[in-house]
Every structure is written in C-alpha cells, then in structure tokens.
Structure 1
Amino acid sequence: MNNALVTGASGAIGTEISHMLASKGFRLYLHYNTNLTAVKSLQNELKKKYEVPVFIVCADLSKAGGSEVLWNQIQSPLDVFVYNCGSAHFGLLTDFTEKSITETMQLNLLSAISLTKAIVPDMIQKKSGKIIMISSVWGEVGAACETVYSAAKGGLNTFVKALSKELAPSHIQVNGISPGVISTPMMDQFTEEEKRHLADDIPAGRFGEPREVAHAVEFLMSEKADYISGHILSINGSWFT
C-alpha cells in the first residue's frame, strides 16, 4: 500500500485532496495544527468510506522546528507528499511585525523546504516519488497588501523548479499548483457584493472549487505526469494569465 502525507488536511482543499488519495487506496497521514475536530471527522469519514488506514499528525508549521515535529510522527516512507499550507497576513508592508513576517515565511516556504528535505532520502532510495506544492497566484504575479505572502509563494515556486532538476535523475517529480480564487471558508471575510465584483474580474466568471485543485493533484501524482516536473500549474479561470 502506498503512503501519502497531506499537510493542512483539515481545510477545504486539503479535505478534497485527502478524499481523492483515499479513493485510490493510499494509506494517509493527515496533518493539522489547530482544527482537531475537523481532521478527526475527516479521518473517520475516509476510513468508513474507503477502508484505508488514516493517521492524524499534528504540528505548527509556522514555527521553526515544526517540520521536525511532524516528520517524527510519520512511520513509513512516502510515495506522495502534498504540501498544502498557507496563511496570509493582510496589510501594508510597513504594518507587518517581524513576528508575522517570520511566521508567514516559515509556514509558506521554510517548513515546506525542511519537510521535503526529510522526505526525499527515502524517495531517492526507491527511485520514485511525487512532490506537489500548493502555491498561489500571488506567487506568480504578486499582490499589494500581501507582499510577504507573495514573496513566500514565489520562493516556493522557484524551490519547485530547482528541486525538480535535482531529483529528476532519481525519477522523482516535483511540481506546484497555483490556485487563483477558490471557494473556501477563507472567502467568508468578504461580503457577497465584494465576492460578486471579484468573480466579475475573473474571465471564467466564477471562483474555482476545492475539488478542481484536487483534480490537478490527481493528474500530477499519476503516471500520466511522469515526464512533467518543475511545472507550476495555474488554476485560475484565466485570471492573471
């Protein structure tokens, strides 16, 4: 049985990715930080529906050392690793505290690097593996009032491209997915009018759905994508193309 780790599994996108992996018979490690109720519910649902082993792992990946705490809870070499963590602080750069800058960079970039560093030796040994980083459209084009988040996700995109070259001789594919606006609880901070205006700015005329991000993960982790590596797949309805 193949093993997969999904970070941020309790969120809307992480939940869809976890369902997709469980439907394919993966033994799953579901990472969470604060939402234990949601991840336990997901664990029970996946076990019942797909009859696969599902384990919960907890770590604060916005803190230095969080990736080590997480990795110490994993019992098996991984076949698929999906880094699906992201949180942005909104505001002018001059309003950011050093703490918020550090935590944003740690969660969105540094922990992804540290955790990957721990995971890849097993993949190299068996000469196979799929690593998929969930990035953001702002990592491609940048966003005012989300400068630090944009910088972190831009760094994540470059990490994907660089690491793909390093791991290609070991038959390991490293790719990223760059979602635009996705219908998740994160959008609840906006009014219905604000969301309508935002959807009007997107050529496709709507927000993306979490399952559409999971579909992209499904493709990139499949053998159909064995010759695709170092790619950032945009999912944004032609927004910022």
Structure 2
Amino acid sequence: MPYALVMGASGDIGQAICEKLADQGWSLYCHYNQQEQKVLNFVSDLQERYPQQDFFMVSLDMLEEATVPDFLDQLFQVDGIVFASGFTFYELLPETTSRQMDALWQVHLKTPLLLLQGLQGKLAQSKNGRVVFIGSVYGHRGSSMETIYSAVKGGQEAFAKAYAKEVATLGITVNVIAPGAVQTKMNDTWSDQEIAELEAEIPVGRLAEPAEIAAACSYLFSAEASYTTGIILPVAGGWLE
C-alpha cells in the first residue's frame, strides 16, 4: 500500500488532493499547522470511508526549521509528497519586510527542500516515488504586488526541473502544478466586483475548483505518469498562458 505525505492538508486544495489520493488507494499523512480540529474531523471521515487504508495527522510549523528532524521521525513509509502549503503577502516591493521575505522563502522552498533531503531514501524504495509542488502561474508569469511570492514560486519550478534530473534514475518523478485563480477560502475577502473582474480575464470564464487541481495531482501520482517528470503543468483555464 503506498503512503503519501500531503503538506497543507488543512487547506482547500490540500484537502481536495487528500480526497482524490485516498480514493485511489493511498494511505495518507495529513499535515497541518493550525486548524487541528478541522483536520481531525477530516481524517476521521477518511478512515470511516476507507477502512483498509491508514490516515495520520502530522503537525509541523514550516517556519520552525529546528523541528523538521522530529517531524521526519514520525514518517515510516513515504512514496509520494505533495507540497500544498503556502500563503502570500499583497505588498509593493519597497513595503515588503525582510521577515516577510524570509517567511515566504522558508515555507515555499527551504522547508520543502529539507523534507526532501530527509525523505529521498524512502521515496526511492518503491522505484515509483512522486513529488508534486502546488505552484502558481505567477511562478512563470509574475504578479505585481506579489513579487516575492512570484519569486519563490518560480524557484519551485526551477528546483523541480533540476531535481527531476537528479533523481530520475531512482524512479522518482518531480513536477509542479501551476494553478491560476482557484475558488478557495483565501478569496473570501474579495468583493463580488473583484471576482467578476477576475473571471472576465480568464478565457474559461470562471475560477478553478480545488478538485480540478487535485485531478492534475492524481494523474502525476499515477503509475501512468512514470515518464512525466520535470514539467510545469498549468491548470489555469487559459489565464496568463
């Protein structure tokens, strides 16, 4: 039975990915930092629906680098990893603080890289290891007011392309899904007018559903995707592409 670690399982996209992978027969480590009760209820529901699989809650503050070794000690088998944790700051560059820059770098890049360092051996054991970053179209198109976020998302893309070459002979694939605008709770602060203006810019005419991002992840985790590595897969409805 394969086991996947989903970083950011408390978020809308992370939860949708957990749902999809569980339906495909994966046992899961569901990572969270906050919203413990939400994840507990979710994991309990998964265990009821899929009693032959294992579902664990694992907690890590990705800003606290010193706690990474203890976190890794909790994981006994890992055949796939999804990095779905993340956040942004809406600031012009001169207004962005050094602390904000460090936080974006740590959560989107450094901590994921530290986790991969520690888990590469486990990922290689099955010869079918899977690594998927949930990036952003801003990683290759850029966004004003989110210059640092765009930079770290671009860093995920560059890392994935390089790391995919490094671990290809180990049977590990490394890819990035680059969503456009997705209907998540992060958009609750937007006005109806702002949503309408955004939808008007998207060729498909609407925001993506989290399940559509999860479907892309499902493919990249499948056995049929063993020859798909080092790619950036936009799921953006034609927006910014």
Normalising by the smaller structure, the TM-score range is over 0.9
- Structure 1 position 66, deviation (Å): 4.5
Q: Which residue of the partner structure matches residue 140 of structure 2? A: 140
Q: Secondary structure at the match of 1:31?
A: strand
DSSP 3-state at the match of 1:189: coil
Contact 1:87–1:104 under 8 Å retained in 2: yes
**Equivalent residue for 1:67?**
68
TM-score normalized with structure 1 length? 0.96
Return 5+ residue gaps in structure 1 as ranges.
none
Q: How do 1:188-227 and structure 2 match up within 5 A?
A: 188-227=188-227
Percent sequence identity over matched residues?
36
Map of 2:232 onto structure 1: 232
CA distance in 2, matches of 1:140, 1:62: 25
Q: 2:159 matched to which residue of 1?
A: 159
For residues 233 and 37 of structure 2, the distance between their equivalents in structure 1, rounded to whole angstroms, comes to 32
| Counterpart secondary structure, 1:156 | helix
Is 1:35 paired with 2:50?
A: no
1:41: how far off?
1.2
- The answer as to whether partners of 1:2 and 1:26 remain within 8 angstroms in 2 is yes
* Whole-angstrom distance in 2 between the partners of 1:72 and 1:35: 22
Q: Are residues 23 and 89 of structure 1, via their aligned partners in 2, closer, same or farther at CA, if it must alter by over 3 Å?
A: same
What does 1:88-167 correspond to in 2, within 5 Å? 88-167=88-167
2-side partners of 1:98 and 1:192: how far apart? 33
The Cα of 1:125 is off from its aligned counterpart by 4.0
Count residues in correspondence.
Answer: 240
Contact 2:128 2:226 in 1 (8 A): no
Shift of 1:124: 2.7
Question: C-alpha deviations, 1:10-29, integer Å up to 9, x for none?
Answer: 11111111111111222210
* Contact 2:104-2:152 within 8 A present in 1 as well: yes
**Which residue pairs with 1:57 in the alignment?**
58
**Counterparts of 1:68 and 1:189, CA distance in 2:** 36
Partner of 2:172: 172
TM-score, structure 2 as length reference: 0.96
Q: Which residue of 2 aligns with 1:47?
A: 47
Once residues 126 and 238 of structure 2 are traced to their aligned partners in structure 1, the CA distance between those partners, rounded to angstroms, is 38
Preserved CA contact (<8 Å) 1:173 1:226: yes
1:83 correspondence with 2:49: no
User: Any runs of at least 4 consecutive aligned residues in structure 1 with deviations exceeding 4 A, and if so which?
Assistant: none
- How far off its partner does 1:70 sit? 2.6
